[in-house]
Amino acid sequence: MLFLPFDPIFLIMVLPAFAFSLWARHRVTSSFKKYSQQYTQNRMTGADAAREVLRRSGVSNISIEQVQGTLTDYFDPRTNVIRLSESVYGSPSVAAVGVAAHEAGHALQYASGYIPMRLRAAIIPATNIGSNLSVPLILFGLIFNMTGLIDLGILLFGAVVVFQLITLPVEFNASRRAVSVLGESALLTADELPGAKRVLSAAALTYVGALAVSLMTLLRFVLLSRGRR
C-alpha cells in the first residue's frame, strides 16, 4: 500500500477500508477456530466432504491433496486438483467440512463452465502484471512528474480491481453451491449447517474487504494524478 507523507486522501479513504479488511480477516480466523472445535456427527473430514460434494454433483475428474498451512485451501483448475490445508483435509469439524465443500464448489463452477470463473482465470496474467508493476509505475510517475507512467500504473491497477470485482460472485456462488449440497444431502445436520454457513460468510467478507481497499486505493491514485495536472 503506497503511503505518502501528509496524505489526507489516505486517511479519509483508504485507511477505513483497510481497517475493515483487517476486521474481516480476524472474523474469518475466529469463526474458523470456533467451528473447528465442533465435530460432525458422522465424523466426515474435509477431504471426505469435498469428495462427496463432487460425487453427488456428478464430477469425477478432480483430485484432492493436502497442503501445508492454515486456510491455504484452493482449487487449481489447471491441474483439476483441490488442495486442502492441514487444518481442513483430515479434520472432522464443521469448519473443515464447510471450507472443503466451498473449494469443491469452485470445481463445480469450472466443470459447469460458470462464466465469472472462466473470466477470472482469463485475466489472471494481466492481474499479475498489474499487481507487480502498477504501484512502482505510479510512484515513479509522481516523483518525476511523468503523467504517462502514472496513467499506465493506474490502468494496470485497474486490472487488479476488475479481478477482485469478478472474484466476489465467484466466491459467493461457490459457497451457495457448497451449502446447497451439504444441506440437501444431509452431509451436515440441521444443527451443524449454520456453523458452516458462518465460516463461509466470514470468509466472503475478506474478499469484500480486499475489494474495498483496492477501490479506494484506485480512486486515491486517480485523485493524486489529477492533482498533479
pLDDT digits over 38-85, tens only? 999 999 999 999 999 999 999 999 999 999 999 999 999 999 999 999
Q: State the pLDDT at residue 142.
A: 86
Q: State the pLDDT at residue 9.
A: 66
Range in 1-5, 68-72, 168-172 the model is least confident about: 1-5
Out of 103, 171, 184, 192, which one is annotated catalytic?
103
Residue 2 lies in a domain: no
Residue 224 lies in a domain: yes
Q: In the structure, what pLDDT confidence band is assigned to residue 134 with cuts at 50, 70 and 90?
A: very high
Q: State the pLDDT at residue 184.
A: 94
Q: Supply the range of the domain harboring residue 210.
A: 8-228
> Who contacts 55 (Cβ-Cβ below 8 Å, separation ≥6)?
none
Query: Residues of the chain with pLDDT > 70: what percent?
Result: 94
pLDDT averaged over every residue in the chain: 92
> With contact defined as beta carbons under 8 Å apart, do 42 and 93 qualify?
no
* Predicted confidence (pLDDT) at residue 13 exceeds the cutoff of 80: no
Residue 208 DSSP SS3: helix
Active site residue 103: yes
Give the Cα separation of 37 and 53 in Å (integer). Answer: 22
Residue 3 lies in a domain: no
Residue 61 lies in a domain: yes
Give the Cα separation of 85 and 152 in Å (integer). Answer: 38
DSSP structural state of residue 48: H
Q: State the pLDDT at residue 229.
A: 58
* Predicted confidence (pLDDT) at residue 3 exceeds the cutoff of 50: no
Q: State the pLDDT at residue 228.
A: 63
Residue 96 lies in a domain: yes
Q: Which residue, among 27, 112, 35, has the nearest Cα to 77 in the 3D structure?
A: 112
Residue 1 lies in a domain: no
**Structural domain count, the chain:** 1
* Predicted confidence (pLDDT) at residue 221 exceeds the cutoff of 70: yes
Residue 74 lies in a domain: yes
DSSP structural state of residue 70: S
Sheet holding 63-67, edge to edge: 63-67, 81-85, 74-76
What's the predicted TM-score (pTM) here? 0.90
Residue 107 lies in a domain: yes
